[in-house]
C-alpha cells in the first residue's frame, strides 16, 4: 500500500505538545474573557443537514466549492460544518432559549480550500453569537470582546477593519451598481474576476490581481448606498468604538466571504505577518439568518476567531509562548517500580503534576528521563529510602540542590517549593 495513506490528509495537521497546550490555553483565555461578559458555551454537532449551510449563500465559495458534504448510510445529505454561526442559529431555532441568547463556542471547522500557511482544510475557531438584540452598542461589545481577547494574549499588532453592508435592500442596490460598473469595462477585468462577477459581484472587490486594481478603486462605494437607518446604525457603532478607545479603520471594500451579513461587518487583521492569510478573526451582524433557517424574525451578531492563525500571529509577535512545564515532579524508583506506582498516585491525587519512568531502568536512565520531562523536582527512592521511610528530593534546576526528607512531609515540602 502507498505509504502516503499513512500521513494526515492534505490541509490537516497533528498538533503535538507544546502546541496542543497552547491551543487549549488559548481556548481557556477566550472562555474567561467571554464568561466575564455573561456568555455561556454551546456545543453543536460537527455535521448538519446540508441545507443548514446552504443558507450561508449559494454564491459563496464556502458553499459552492468548499463544502465537505456526503450521504450517510441512511441516505441523508449531510455536511461537515464550514463555520459555526449557521449551526448556532439552527440550535437557537430548535431550542428557543430566552433572548438575548449570548453563546460562545470552540471547535474544528472544515473547508475544502487550497491549503497553505495559515489556511487549512480543518481549522479551529473560537467565537460568540448573540441572538435577539438590535442595539448597535451590542456590535461594539462584540468587537470589544475580541479586542480584549487579543490583548490578553499579548497581541499588539492587530488592526480592526470595519464596514457597513447596509440593509438587504441597500446591499442589493449596491450590487446592481457594482454589476453595472464592472460590466461596462468587462474586458479589462481578469478572467477570474469575470467569472466571480457572474456569481457574486461583491467578491470582485476582494480580488488582489493587479489587472483588476484600477477598476476596483474606481468602483462605487458601499457607504454611498446606506439608507438613513443604516447610516445611523453605522455612526453609533463607530461612536461606541471611539468611546472605548478601540482603534479601527473603515474599509468600504470589506465584504466578507459569507452572504448573511447586513449592516456591521468587521475583520481583525494581524500586521505581524504578511501572508495572504492575515485575517485572524471576523464577524458582523446577520439579522435575516434566523428567519432564513425557519425561525422567528430575530437579529443576530457575532464573530469567529481562527485559533491556528491567531497562534501564528502570537509566534510572529513572540507572545503567548510556551505553556508552563507539563510536569512538576518526576519519581525515580530504583527498587522495582512499586514505590513509584504508589507515590505517583498519591502525588497526583494531591494535585501535583507527576510522572515516572517504566521498565525498571537504571538510575542514570531514569534521571535522564526526569530531565527530559521538564520536571522541576525529582523524588528518588532506593532500598535505603524505603527502609528508612524517606525519599531524596532533588531540585532539577540546580545540580546541587538535594535533600533527604521523610515520606510524610513530601507534599508539604513540594508545596513550599512549588507554589
Ligand atoms: P470567517 O471569516 O469565514 O467567518 O472565519 C473566521 C476566521 O476563521 C477567519 O478570520 C480566520 O482566522 C479563520 N479561518 C477561516 N478559514 C480558515 C482556514 N481555511 N484555515 C484557517 N483559518 C481559517 C466565519 O466563520 C463566521 N462564522 C464568523 C461570524 C460569526 N460571523 C458572525 N458570527
Ligand 1 centroid–CA 169 distance in Å is 25
Q: Give the tens place of pLDDT for each residue, 336-347.
A: 999 999 999 999
Q: Whose CA is nearest to atom 15 of ligand 1?
A: 306
Domain ranges of the chain: 3-166+226-317, 329-418
Q: DSSP readout, 160-210?
A: EEEEE---HHHHHHHHHHHHHHHHHTGGGS-HHHHHHHHH-HHHHTT---H
Q: DSSP readout, 31-99?
A: HHHHHTTT-EE----SEEEHHHHHTT-TTSHHHHT---EEE-TT--EEEE-S-SHHHHHHHHHHH-PPS
Q: Give the tens place of pLDDT for each residue, 389-398.
A: 999 999 998 8
The per-residue pLDDT for 90 is 98
- 3-class state of residue 319 by DSSP: coil
Cα 291 to Cα 376: distance, rounded to the nearest angstrom: 56
pLDDT confidence tier of residue 58, bands split at 50, 70 and 90: confident
Q: Which residues line ligand 1 (CB under 6 A)?
A: 83, 85, 111, 113, 118-120, 123, 125, 127, 129, 257-258, 279-284, 286, 302-304, 306, 308-309
**Longest pairwise C-alpha distance within the chain:** 93
The pLDDT of 170-185, averaged and rounded, is 94
Cα angle 383, 384, 390; round to 5: 105
- 3-class state of residue 304 by DSSP: strand
Predicted TM-score (pTM) of this structure: 0.92
The per-residue pLDDT for 207 is 87
Ligand 1 centroid–CA 407 distance in Å is 53
Residue 334 has pLDDT above 90, yes or no: yes
CATH number of 3-166+226-317: 3.30.930.10
Q: Which atom of ligand 1 is nearest to the CA of 115?
A: 19
Q: Is the dihedral of CA 386, 388, 389, 393 positive or negative?
A: negative
Ligand 1 centroid–CA 320 distance in Å is 21
CB 158 within 8 A of CB 181: no
Q: Whose CA is nearest to atom 17 of ligand 1?
A: 119
The per-residue pLDDT for 217 is 93
Q: Whose CA is nearest to atom 30 of ligand 1?
A: 303
The per-residue pLDDT for 170 is 96
CB 300 within 8 A of CB 130: yes
- What is the percentage of the chain residues whose pLDDT exceeds 90? 87
Ligand 1 centroid–CA 39 distance in Å is 20
Kindly state the cell numbers that stand for 297.
424574525
Ligand 1 mutation pick, 273, 304, 307, 312, max ligand atoms within 8 A of CB: 304
The per-residue pLDDT for 57 is 84
Which of 266, 40, 257 minimizes the C-alpha distance to 150?
Answer: 266
Ligand 1 mutation pick, 44, 268, 282, 298, max ligand atoms within 8 A of CB: 282
| Domain spanning 329-418: CATH 3.40.50.800 | yes
The per-residue pLDDT for 168 is 93
Ligand 1 centroid–CA 348 distance in Å is 39
Q: Whose CA is nearest to atom 31 of ligand 1?
A: 283
Rg (CA), the chain: 27
pLDDT confidence tier of residue 3, bands split at 50, 70 and 90: low
Cα 308 to Cα 320: distance, rounded to the nearest angstrom: 13
Ligand 1 centroid–CA 304 distance in Å is 6
Q: Whose CA is nearest to atom 18 of ligand 1?
A: 119
The pLDDT of 181-209, averaged and rounded, is 92
The residue that leads in pLDDT, 168 or 273, is 168
Ligand 1 centroid–CA 371 distance in Å is 41
Ligand 1 centroid–CA 213 distance in Å is 25
Give the orientation angle of helix 19-35 with respect to helix 307-316, to 10 degrees: 110
Kindly state the cell numbers that stand for 405.
526528607
Residue 29 has pLDDT above 60, yes or no: yes
Kindly state the cell numbers that stand for 190.
481578469
Q: Give the tens place of pLDDT for each residue, 103-122.
A: 999 999 999 999 988 999 99
Ligand 1 centroid–CA 287 distance in Å is 19
Amino acid at each position: 500500500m502507498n505509504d502516503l495513506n499513512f500521513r494526515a490528509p492534505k490541509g490537516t495537521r497533528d498538533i503535538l505538545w507544546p502546541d496542543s497546550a497552547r491551543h487549549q490555553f488559548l481556548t481557556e483565555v477566550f472562555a474567561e474573557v467571554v464568561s466575564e461578559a455573561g456568555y455561556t458555551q454551546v456545543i453543536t454537532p460537527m455535521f448538519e443537514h446540508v441545507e443548514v449551510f446552504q443558507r450561508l449563500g449559494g454564491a459563496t465559495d464556502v458553499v459552492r466549492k468548499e463544502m465537505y458534504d456526503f450521504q450517510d448510510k441512511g441516505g441523508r445529505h449531510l455536511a461537515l460544518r464550514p463555520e459555526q454561526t449557521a449551526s448556532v442559529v439552527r440550535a437557537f431555532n430548535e431550542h428557543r432559549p430566552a433572548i438575548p441568547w449570548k453563546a460562545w463556542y470552540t471547535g474544528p471547522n472544515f473547508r475544502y480550500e487550497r491549503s497553505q500557511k495559515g489556511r487549512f482544510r480543518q481549522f479551529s475557531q473560537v467565537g460568540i453569537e448573540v441572538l435577539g438584540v438590535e442595539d448597535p452598542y451590542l456590535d461594539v461589545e462584540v468587537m470589544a470582546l475580541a479586542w480584549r481577547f487579543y490583548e490578553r494574549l499579548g497581541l499588539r499588532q492587530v488592526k480592526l477593519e470595519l464596514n457597513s453592508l447596509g440593509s438587504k435592500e441597500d446591499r442589493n442596490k449596491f450590487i446592481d451598481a457594482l454589476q453595472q460598473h464592472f460590466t461596462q469595462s468587462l474586458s479589462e477585468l481578469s478572467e477570474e474576476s469575470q467569472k466571480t462577477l457572474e456569481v457574486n459581484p461583491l467578491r470582485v472587490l476582494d480580488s488582489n490581481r493587479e489587472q483588476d486594481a484600477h477598476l476596483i478603486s474606481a468602483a462605487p462605494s458601499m457607504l454611498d448606498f446606506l439608507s438613513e437607518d443604516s447610516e445611523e446604525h453605522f455612526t453609533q457603532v463607530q461612536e461606541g468604538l471611539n468611546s472605548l478607545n478601540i482603534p479601527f479603520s473603515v474599509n468600504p471594500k470589506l465584504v466578507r466571504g459569507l452572504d448573511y451579513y447586513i449592516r456591521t461587518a468587521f475583520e481583525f487583521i494581524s500586521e505581524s505577518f504578511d501572508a495572504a492569510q492575515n485575517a485572524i478573526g471576523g464577524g458582523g451582524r446577520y439579522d435575516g439568518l434566523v428567519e432564513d433557517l425557519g425561525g422567528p424574525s430575530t437579529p443576530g451578531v457575532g464573530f469567529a476567531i481562527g485559533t491556528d492563525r491567531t497562534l501564528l500571529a502570537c509566534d510572529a509577535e513572540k507572545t503567548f509562548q510556551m505553556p508552563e512545564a507539563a510536569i512538576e515532579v518526576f519519581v525515580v524508583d530504583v527498587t522495582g517500580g512499586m514505590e513509584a506506582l504508589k507515590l505517583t498516585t498519591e502525588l497526583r491525587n494531591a494535585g501535583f503534576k507527576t510522572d515516572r519512568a517504566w521498565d525498571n531502568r537504571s538510575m542514570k536512565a531514569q534521571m535522564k528521563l526526569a530531565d527530559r520531562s521538564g520536571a522541576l523536582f525529582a523524588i528518588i527512592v532506593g532500598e535505603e529510602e524505603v527502609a528508612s521511610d524517606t525519599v531524596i528530593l532533588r531540585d532539577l534546576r540546580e545540580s546541587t540542590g538535594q535533600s533527604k526528607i521523610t515520606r510524610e512531609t513530601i507534599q508539604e515540602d513540594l508545596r513550599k517549593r512549588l507554589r
